[in-house]
Amino acid sequence: LPGTEGQGVADVLFGRYPFTGKLPYTWPRSADQLPFDFSALPADGPDAPLFPAGFGLEGAH
């Protein structure tokens, strides 16, 4: 990757910068789940979202 974006990706891949990231919104499992009713999202099972808001990774320091 050229430019500053490439350097940022390389820093994460080679461990010079810890990877962290959390989703700011929920990803549906399929288009059939749209629109979401956020007041009644199931936590698990076939109707659960693919990735709930806040899902993500935290790197070790």
Per-residue pLDDT, 28: 87
Residue 59 has pLDDT above 70, yes or no: no
Residue 60 has pLDDT above 70, yes or no: no
Domain boundaries, the chain: 3-58
User: b or e along 15-36 (b: 16 or more beta carbons within 10 Å of the residue's beta carbon)?
Assistant: eeeeeeeeeeebeeeeeebeee
pLDDT in tens, 28-56: 888 888 887 766 766 777 778 888 888 88
The rounded distance, in Å, linking the Cα atoms of 2 and 50 is 32
Per-residue pLDDT, 38: 65
Q: What is the mean pLDDT of residues 2-11?
A: 82
What is the pLDDT confidence band of residue 26, given thresholds at 50, 70 and 90?
confident
